[in-house]
Amino acid sequence: MTLTSSDFSATSKDSGKVYLFNLLKENLPRRTQSELNTLTDSTFVFTTNARKKGKVVRTKKQFLTRKERKKLNILKLPKQDWKYDELCEMRELWKQYMRNNLNLYPKIPTWEDPNWTNFNITLAKSEFIGAELTVIRSKNVNQVGMRGTVVLETKATFQIVTPKNELKILVKKPSVFTFTLDDMKFTIFGKYAIIRPSERSIKKIKTLLLPDL
């Protein structure tokens, strides 16, 4: 590994050299510091700190597998012991976050606005944990009219806690959801929301004016 200081000096001769010298002085280990004095205009060779070829250092594995997560009880939510009243703080936080994120004030955008699509994309990329969802249409008849706070979102489901203190798992695909924020009403077509929540914030979203059901 060689580093030629004359490359840097083309534009600003002295300041580049001083910067390089300081950078090396800060970052090199102590035993190589004495070699710094031999730094001249031409080259400086890092030899003492170089690793020998052919030796691969193995790092210890850090992340947990799915099985291990299950063993530690952090893969799924518990089914019992949910209280609807305890989640009110979460709902308040969500409202604050949404108002901030959508930049609602001082004015609420309408569909004629030039940045209407922008507004929609921001909405689709935001977080739904903490929202108050209602199912308005579903192929599963039992779930129509169900209301509750979202506690977890996965690729295919919303998990909500109803006012009767039950954890319910709603499948996204055959359902249509609504939620309200202040005096605005939003509708989510579950069919178009099938995506992992972590990937949602970077995914490019197509705007469909007429959703097919």
Partner 1 sequence: MNQMIIKKCVGKDVFERMNYLLQLSNLALRQPGKDAASSLYSHLLVNVSQKAVQRMEPEVKRSICKRCHTLMIPGINSQIRIRKKRLRWKCNKCSNSKLFKTDPSHKLWIDNKEAIVETLRY
Say whether residue 113 binds partner 1 (CB under 8 A). Answer: no
What is the number of other CB atoms lying within 10 angstroms of the CB of residue 136?
Answer: 13
How many whole angstroms separate alpha carbon 26 and alpha carbon 33?
9
Distance CA 136, CA 176 (A): 6
Tell me the two tokens of residue 84: 């609807």
Among 6, 43, 101, 117, binds partner 1 (CB under 8 A): 101
Closer to partner 1 by CB, 45 or 93: give it: 93
User: What are 27's two structure tokens?
Assistant: 């970052």
Q: How far apart are CA 157 and CA 37, in angstroms?
A: 64
Taken in order 88, 90, 94, 100, is the CA torsion positive or negative?
Answer: positive
Q: Is 89 in the site for partner 1 (CB under 8 A)?
A: yes
Cβ 145 to partner 1 shortest distance, Å? 26
Task: Give whichever of 85 and 212 is closer to partner 1, judged by the CB atom.
Answer: 85
Q: Applying CB under 8 A, which of residues 18, 45, 64, 88 lies at the interface with partner 1?
A: 64
| Binding of residue 129 to partner 1 (CB under 8 A) | yes
Kindly give the interhelix angle for 116-125 and 88-102, rounded to the nearest 10 degrees. 150
Residue 81: partners with Cβ closer than 8 Å, 6 or more residues away: none
Nearer Cβ to partner 1 (140/154): 154
Q: Does 74 bind partner 1 (CB under 8 A)?
A: yes
Q: How far is the CB of 76 from partner 1 (least distance, A)?
A: 7
Among positions 48, 122, 140, 180, the unique one binding partner 1 when judged by CB under 8 A: 122
Is residue 63 a contact point for partner 1 (CB under 8 A)? Answer: yes
**Could you give the count of Cα atoms lying within 13 Å of 152 in the half-sphere of its Cβ?**
15
Position of tokens 């489901």? Answer: 157
- Residue 90 sits in the site that holds partner 1 (CB under 8 A): yes
How many residues line the site for partner 1 (CB under 8 A)?
34
Interface residue list for partner 1 (CB under 8 A): 62-64, 69, 72-74, 76-78, 81, 86, 89-90, 93-94, 97, 100-101, 103, 115, 122, 125-127, 129-130, 151-152, 197-199, 201-202
